[in-house]
Amino acid sequence: MAMTMLKMMTPPPASSMPSLTPTPPMPQIRTIPGTHGLPLIGPLSDRLDYFWFQGPETFFRKRMEKYKSTVFRTNIPPAFPFFPSVNPNVIAVLDCKSFSHLFDMDLVDKKNVLVGDFMPSVSFTGNIRVSVYLDPSESKHALVKNFATDILKRSSGIWASEFVSNLDVMWNTIEKDITSKGSASFPVPLQRCIFRFLIKCLVGADTSNSPEIADNGFAMLDAWLALQLLPTVKIGILQPLEEIFLHSFAYPFFLVKGSYQKLYDFVKKEGREVIERGETQFQLGEEETIHNLLFVLGFNAFGGFSVFLPSLITTLGSGKTGLQDKLRQEVREKVGSSSLGFDSVREMELVQSFVYETLRYNPPVPLQFARARKDFILSSYDSSYEIKKGELLCGYQLLAMRDPKVFDEPETFQPERFTKEKGQQLLNYLYWSNGPQTGSPSTSNKQCAAKDHVVVTACLFLADLFLRYDSFTTDGSSITAVEKAK
Ligand code: HEM
Query: 42 CA to middle of ligand 1, Å?
Result: 32
Query: 433 CA to middle of ligand 1, Å?
Result: 7
- Total-model pTM: 0.94
User: Which DSSP helix (H) or strand (E) runs through 368?
Assistant: strand 367-372
Query: 432 CA to middle of ligand 1, Å?
Result: 10
For ligand 1, say whether the CB of 365 is within 6 Å of any of its atoms: yes
pLDDT at 272 over 90: yes
Strand partners, 371: 109, 392
Question: How far is Cα 457 from Cα 437, in angstroms, rounded to an integer?
Answer: 15
Q: DSSP secondary structure string, 136-171? A: TTSHHHHHHHHHHHHHHHHHHHHHHHHHHHHHHHHH
Angle, to 10 degrees, between the axis of helix 272-281 and the axis of helix 286-295? 120
Other CB atoms within 10 Å distance of the CB of residue 366: 19
pLDDT at 486 over 90: no
Atom 36 (ligand 1) nearest CA:
448
pLDDT at 453 over 90: yes
Question: How far is Cα 404 from Cα 411, in angstroms, rounded to an integer?
Answer: 9
pLDDT in tens, 202-237: 999 999 999 999 999 999 999 999 999 999 999 988
pLDDT in tens, 335-383: 987 889 999 999 999 999 999 999 999 999 999 999 999 999 999 998 9
pLDDT of amino acid 71: 98
Question: How far is Cα 104 from Cα 12, in angstroms, rounded to an integer?
Answer: 7
Non-local CB neighbours of 259 within 8 Å, separated by 6+ positions: 216, 220, 223, 224
Question: How far is Cα 483 from Cα 166, in angstroms, rounded to an integer?
Answer: 20
pLDDT in tens, 32-53: 999 999 988 999 999 999 999 9
pLDDT of amino acid 10: 47
Other CB atoms within 10 Å distance of the CB of residue 422: 12
Q: Which atom of ligand 1 is nearest to the CA of 309?
A: 1
Question: How far is Cα 399 from Cα 379, in angstroms, rounded to an integer?
Answer: 17
HEC sequence for 438-483: CCCCCCCCCCCCCHHHHHHHHHHHHHHHHHHEEEEEEECCEEEEEE
pLDDT at 15 over 50: no
pLDDT in tens, 45-82: 999 999 999 999 999 999 999 999 999 999 999 987 78
Question: Which of 110, 133, 300 should be mutated for ligand 1, with most atoms under 8 A from CB?
Answer: 300
Helix%, strand%, coil% for the chain, nearest 5: 55, 10, 35
pLDDT in tens, 387-434: 999 999 999 999 999 999 999 999 999 999 999 999 999 999 999 999
99 touches 379 (CB < 8 A): no
pLDDT band of 24, cuts 50, 70, 90: low
pLDDT at 100 over 70: yes
Q: What would the mean pLDDT of 175-180 be, rounded to a whole number?
A: 94
Q: What is the mean pLDDT of the chain?
A: 93
pLDDT of amino acid 76: 97
Question: How far is Cα 484 from Cα 130, in angstroms, rounded to an integer?
Answer: 44
For ligand 1, say whether the CB of 203 is within 6 Å of any of its atoms: no
For ligand 1, say whether the CB of 86 is within 6 Å of any of its atoms: no
Question: How far is Cα 274 from Cα 147, in angstroms, rounded to an integer?
Answer: 9
Query: 300 CA to middle of ligand 1, Å?
Result: 5
For ligand 1, say whether the CB of 301 is within 6 Å of any of its atoms: yes
For ligand 1, say whether the CB of 111 is within 6 Å of any of its atoms: no
Domain extent listing, the chain: 1-121+364-400
Angle, to 10 degrees, between the axis of helix 257-270 and the axis of helix 211-229? 130
pLDDT band of 18, cuts 50, 70, 90: very low
pLDDT at 8 over 80: no
**155-465-346-407 Cα dihedral, nearest 10 degrees:** -120
Other CB atoms within 10 Å distance of the CB of residue 385: 22
pLDDT at 321 over 90: no
First to last CA, the chain: 44
pLDDT band of 482, cuts 50, 70, 90: confident
- In a 3-state reduction of DSSP, which class is residue 385? strand
pLDDT of amino acid 318: 83
Other CB atoms within 10 Å distance of the CB of residue 28: 8
pLDDT of amino acid 481: 84
pLDDT of amino acid 484: 83
